[in-house]
Amino acid sequence: MSDLSNKHIVLGLSGGIACYKAAELCRSLIKAGASVQVVMTEAAAQFITPVTLQALSNRPVYVSQWDGREPNNMAHINLSRNADAIVVAPASADFMAKLLHGRTDDLLSLMCLARPMERVPLVLAPAMNREMWQHPATQRNVTQLRADGAHVLDVGQGEQACGETGDGRMLEPEEILEDLVAFFQPKALQGQHVLVTAGPTFEAIDPVRGITNLSSGKMGFAIARAAREAGAEVTLVAGPVHQATPRGVRRVDVRSALDMQAAVTQYVDQATVFVATAAVADWRLASVATQKIKKYGSGQLPQMQFTENPDILASVAKSERAQNGALFCVGFAAESHDLLAHATAKRARKGVPLLVGNIGPATFGLDDNALLLVDAQGSQELPHASKLSLARQLVAEIARRRS
């Protein structure tokens, strides 16, 4: 099932150059499983035509409050009653000011005011010049709109159509989509602080070589996203991977196991949940060469002495906060065979209440997985699915055990 399956979104466009992004947003919403009804202001139609949005949404586009296609001539009532959410993107400074004062001189503002507030949320994606965004009047309006129950998204930062640079750009379509998907997820971890480790570590041999593994970090990043969707504050400690940071997640990049240990130590005292998905190298060189090691054709292997890396999960699990229940620890085991036996043994060895096992070679770098949850009572399988779907299931399970 797609992220927005069975959701009906009314996509509103107010006037602004960011209307060009609304076309891609409309398409993305539909790809995510939603049905989309577009409502535009007359100003928005100066930037992008209703024909474009009609072609993308496969529905007639509404512009005028006097549109005669509705039998009762009440498009503002009919359209809002069928919506799971009204998303205005772009929301101009003028349009937000209009909403604040309850002014309804066009169909879109009339519909926003007429919506049943208790079941049809209003999501606004602001878009304007940086000076307009920073103006005290706009900031007051945003504060009051949020107080009135509207969900005002952040703005982007960068080059603007006017040639200036700064805050005020509308978020990119994929960012709005991610925020909207998160909005509909159950807030099972509201008020929690989740610390996640993800990806491999890299243990240097010399300035150009090192020891690492095939972990892509995708499962850990999915868990960070799912925890944020569930309402948690999330800190993600990431080894050397090339994954996009989930929206709203604080990311801390590290390289080696010692780097990861230091970052975890820095943030774990504020956490209430610790999920250790990182594939931390078991060993590192006792001494790293300062220059590239040459082979010179001698056939002789360089002399290397290894030392064991710290066990980050086990040390956190032994902490006072973990022992008294203030911190819930979850470990991961990537195995090549005998998953249940190895995961059961690892859970006991690490001293964690929940350990998640998977067959590493079958999932490294892929977008899907299958998980085995192991605790003191036994095991539970999470069947093969996308990593984000599994992450949401795992987050729900963590929330249940925390309650």
Annotated catalytic, 162?
yes
What mean pLDDT, rounded, does the chain reach?
A: 94
- Residue 219 φ/ψ, nearest 5 degrees: -65, -45
pLDDT tens sequence across 181-196: 999 999 999 999 999 9
Where do the domains of the chain lie, and which CATH numbers do they carry? 8-184 (3.40.50.1950), 193-402 (3.40.50.10300)
The SS3 call for residue 99 is helix
How far from chain centre, in Å, is Cα 146?
21
Question: For residue 230, what pLDDT is reported?
Answer: 98
Q: What mean pLDDT do residues 299-307 have?
A: 86
In 333-351, which positions are buried (b, 16+ CB within 10 angstroms) versus exposed (e)? bbbeeebeebbbebbeebb
pLDDT tens sequence across 215-269: 999 999 999 999 999 999 999 999 999 999 999 999 999 999 999 999 999 999 9
Question: For residue 83, what pLDDT is reported?
Answer: 96
DSSP symbols for 144-169: HHHHTT-EEPP-EEEE-TTS-EEEEE
pLDDT tens sequence across 29-41: 999 999 999 999 9
How do strand 193-198 and strand 233-238 relate by DSSP bridges? parallel
Q: What mean pLDDT do residues 17-42 have?
A: 97
Q: Which of 26, 112, 162, 329 is catalytic?
A: 162
